[in-house]
Amino acid sequence: MLELKSLKKAYHQGSQSIEIFENLNFHVKRGERVAIMGKSGSGKSTLLSLISGIIKPDEGDIFLNATAYKDLKESALNDFRATNIGFIFQNFHLVSYLNALENVMLPAKVCKVSNPKEKAIELLKSVGLGHRLDHLPSELSGGEKQRVAIARALIHNPKIILADEPSGNLDEETGNAVMDILFELIKKNNTTLILVTHSQEVANRCEKTYELVSGSLT
C-alpha cells in the first residue's frame, strides 16, 4: 500500500550537501503498524516529510495506494495528502485559536466529509474529551492536546497515519494512556500507521520495528 522505491535525498546548504538517503526501499502493507527508530539526525523526520509529499526526493518514486506522487501536480498532491494521510506530532500542533471541536472538525471540512460536527464530537468522546469540546489548546494539558490531535488525525478516515514521536513530550504515564487510545482507534479503523519513536516500549506495540541507520531501514 505504501511503497518507497530507490529513494535518494540530500540537503544542500551552500556548497555542502548532506546525504540522507542514497537508495532507500521501503514497503508497508495496509493496516500494518510500523515503528521507526533511530538516532537523532538519522533522517526519520525527513522520511516522514517524503512520505507526506511535502518534500520531493531527488530520485526514486513513492506510491501510496498505487498512486505515484510524481504523477501528481502540486495542488493535486496536496489534496491527495489531505484525504489520505493523518498527522500526529510531538508538539501536537493544534491550531491555537480553534477549540478542540473546531480543530478536530477541520480535516473533515477540508475533505468535505459529511456531518463533520457529529463525527468530531463522537471522536472526541471516544478519546475521553467529550466534556471539553470548546476548550482552546491553551486550556488543555499536554495529554489532552495529544488526544485532540489523534482525533483530528483520524476524523477523515485517512489511509495512513504518520506520527512523529507522539509521546515524546509527555510523561510516561500520560504517554502510555495516549498510546492506548491511538492504537485502539487505529485497530478499529484498520488504519496503517508509521510511528517514529525513541521508546522501545512504544515500538513494541507495533507489528514491525525498523531502525534507521545511515540512510537505510533495517
Partner 1 sequence: MLIVELVFKALARSKSFSLLFIFNFSLAIAALAYLQFFKVSIDSSLETQAKSLLGSDLVVSSRFPISTEQEEDIKSKLPEIKSFTQGVSTVSMIASKTRARLMQIVKVNEGFPYYGGLVFKDKSIYPKGEGLPKANEVWVYQEVLDLLNLKLGDPLKIGKENFVIKKVIKDDTLKTISFSGFMPKIYISEEGLKKSELLQFGSTASYKLNYLFKENLDNDRLEEIENKLKESIDQSMRVLSPNDGRDRLLRVLNFVTNFLSLVSLVSFFLGLVGLIYLYSGFLRKHQKDITVLNDLGLSKRNLTLTYLLHLFILISISSIIVFSLIVFTAQFIAPMIQKLVDFDFHFLLDYNFFMQSSLVLLALSLTIGLPLILPLLQREKQNFFKTVLSFIPFIILLLLLSHFVSPAKNVGFFFAVAMLILIILFFGIGAFLLKKFDFSGHLENLSLSLALKNIVRQKKTSLTLFTAILLCTTLFSLIPQIGSSLSNALTLSVDDRPRFFVIDAKEEQIKDLSVQVSNMGAKLENIAPMIRGRIVKVNDVDFKKLSKNNGDDKAKTERNELSNRSVNLSYRNELKKSEEIIEGRAFSGVYDSKDFSKPIEVSVEKRYAKRIGVNLGDRLVFDVLGLKLEAIIVNIRTVKWTEFAPNFFLLLQEGVLDDAPKTVLATISSGDYDAQQMLLTLSDLFPSLTVVDVKNLFESFLGLVNDVTAITDKMSLYSIIIGLLMSFIIIQYQMNLQKNNILRLKMIGVKNKTIRNSFLIEFGLISLSASTLGIVLGSIGSYVISALLFNSYWDFRPDVLLLYFFFIPILTLLIVSFFTSKIIHQKENVLFGE
- Is residue 216 near Mg ion by the rule CB under 5 A? no
Neighbours of 133 (CB within 10 A): 17
Name which position in 1, 31, 45, 135 contacts Mg ion (CB under 5 A): 45
Collapsing DSSP states into helix, strand and coil, what is residue 130? coil
Binding partner of 166, given ligand ADP, Mg ion, partner 1, none, CB within 5-8 angstroms per partner class: none
Interface residues with ligand ADP (CB under 6 A)?
11, 13, 18, 20, 38, 40-46
Give dist(CA 73, CA 85) in Å, integer: 17
For residue 183, what is its C-alpha cell? 492504537
Q: Closest CB to ligand ADP among 14 and 138?
A: 14
Span interacting with Mg ion, options 40-48, 97-105, 170-178, 209-217, rule CB under 5 A: 40-48
Cβ–Cβ < 8 Å for 197, 170: no
In sequence order, what are the residues at sequence separation of 6 or more whose Cβ sits closer than 8 angstroms to the Cβ of residue 27?
Answer: 2, 3, 4
Binding partner of 43, given partner 1, Mg ion, ligand ADP, none, CB within 5-8 angstroms per partner class: ligand ADP
Q: Closest CB to ligand ADP among 90 and 157?
A: 90
Cβ–Cβ < 8 Å for 5, 70: no
Binding partner of 76, given ligand ADP, Mg ion, partner 1, none, CB within 5-8 angstroms per partner class: none
Q: How far is the CB of 108 from ligand ADP (least distance, A)?
A: 29
CA-to-CA dists, residue 6 to 63, 120, 123, 202, angstroms: 12, 39, 38, 28
Q: Closest CB to ligand ADP among 46 and 191?
A: 46
Interface residues with partner 1 (CB under 8 A)?
44-45, 48-49, 52, 54-55, 78-79, 81-83, 87, 89-91, 93-99, 101-102, 105-107, 109-111, 116-117, 133-134, 136, 152, 164-165, 196
Give dist(CA 10, CA 24) in Å, integer: 12
Collapsing DSSP states into helix, strand and coil, what is residue 20? strand
